[in-house]
A and B are shown apart, each in its own frame.
Chain A
Amino acid sequence: MKDALRRFRDEIADGTVLGPVRAVVGLLLGWQALVAAAELSRLGYFGDAFHMPLVPEALVPSHRVYALSLALRVCLAVMVTLGIWARPALAASALLAAWALLCDRLQFHHNRYSLACYALLLSLTPCDRSWRAPEAGGPALREGPFWGVRLAQVQVSLVYLASGGSKLLDPDWRTGLVLADRVARHAHLAVDAGVPRALVDFLARADVTSALAKAAITMELVLVLGPWLRPTRVIVLWFGLWFHAVIQLTAKVETFSILTVAMYGLFATPDRAARTISFDPSTFRGRLAAATVMLLDWLERFELRPWEPDDRRGHAIVIVRRDGTTVTGIRAFAMLTRCLPALFPLWAPAALVASFTKRGDLSTRA
Chain B
Amino acid sequence: MRAFPSARLLFAAMWVGAQLALILTAARRPDGVFGFRMFPESSTVAVTLYRDVAGEGGVSLRMPVQDGTWTARDRSGAPKMVSWKDRVRRPELATFDTEMSASYGAAAQIMRWQAALEDVATHLDGDADTRRLALEITVRRNGHEPRVVRLESQERR
Q: With the chains together, A49 CA to B115 CA distance in Å?
A: 12
Are B33 and A108 neighbours in the complex by a CB distance under 8 Å? yes
Residue contact B89 to A178, C-beta cutoff 8 Å:
no
CB contacts (< 8 Å) of B88 on chain A: these are: 49-50
Would you call A147 and B31 a contact (CB within 8 A)?
Answer: no
Contact B42 A185 (CB under 8 A): yes
Checking B19, B40, B112 against A155 with a beta-carbon cut-off of 8 angstroms, the contacting residue is B19
Q: Which chain B residue has the least Cβ–Cβ distance from A177?
A: B142
Cβ contact within 8 Å between B119 and A110? no
Given A9-B8, A43-B90, A50-B119, A158:B33 Cβ within 8 A:
no
Instruction: Point out which of A8, A9, A177, A180 has the most chain B C-beta atoms below 10 A from its C-beta.
Output: A9
Cβ-based interface call for A163 (8 A)? yes
Q: Is the Cβ of B119 less than 8 Å from the Cβ of A159?
A: no
Q: Is the CB of A178 within 8 A of B12?
A: no
Among A106, A145, A172, A256, the residue within 8 A (CB) of B90 is A106
- By the criterion CB–CB under 8 Å, are B41 and A172 in contact? yes
User: What's the tally of chain A residues with a CB closer than 8 Å to chain B?
Assistant: 46
B59-72 Cβ-contact flags toward A at 8 Å (1 or 0) = 00000000000000
- Chain A binding site: helix, strand, loop or mixed by DSSP? helix
Which residues in window 87-131 of B have CB below 8 A to A? Answer: 87-90, 93, 101, 112, 115-116, 119-120
User: Is the CB–CB distance between B26 and A162 below 8 Å?
Assistant: yes
Known contacts being A52-B115, A179-B42, A185-B42, is A105 close to B33, with CB within 8 Å? yes
| B-contact bits for A124-167, CB 8 A (1 contact / 0 none) | 00000000000000000000010100010011001101110011
A308–B102 CA distance with the chains assembled, in angstroms: 65
Task: Give chain B's interface residue range (CB within 8 Å of chain A).
Answer: 35 or more
Which residues from chain A contact B87 at a C-beta distance below 8 Å?
Answer: 49-50
A114–B35 CA distance with the chains assembled, in angstroms: 10
Contact present for B20 and A158 (CB under 8 Å): yes
Chain B contacts to A: CB under 8 angstroms: 1-2, 4-6, 8-9, 12, 15-16, 19-20, 23, 26-27, 31, 33-42, 44, 86-90, 93, 101, 112, 115-116, 119-120, 141-144
26 A–B contacts from the bound complex (CB under 8 Å): A5-B4, A5-B5, A5-B9, A6-B4, A8-B9, A9-B2, A52-B112, A106-B90, A108-B33, A110-B37, A114-B36, A155-B19, A158-B20, A158-B36, A161-B23, A166-B40, A172-B141, A177-B42, A177-B144, A178-B42, A178-B142, A179-B42, A181-B42, A181-B142, A184-B143, A185-B44
Measured CB to CB, the residues of A under 8 A from B are 2, 5-6, 8-9, 43-44, 46, 49-50, 52, 54, 105-106, 108, 110, 113-114, 117, 121, 145, 147, 151, 154-155, 158-159, 161-163, 166-167, 170, 172-173, 177-182, 184-185, 251, 253, 256
List 15 additional contacts besides A5-B5, A5-B9; criterion CB under 8 Å: A9-B2, A49-B88, A49-B89, A50-B88, A50-B119, A105-B31, A145-B8, A158-B16, A162-B23, A162-B36, A166-B35, A178-B39, A182-B42, A185-B42, A253-B38
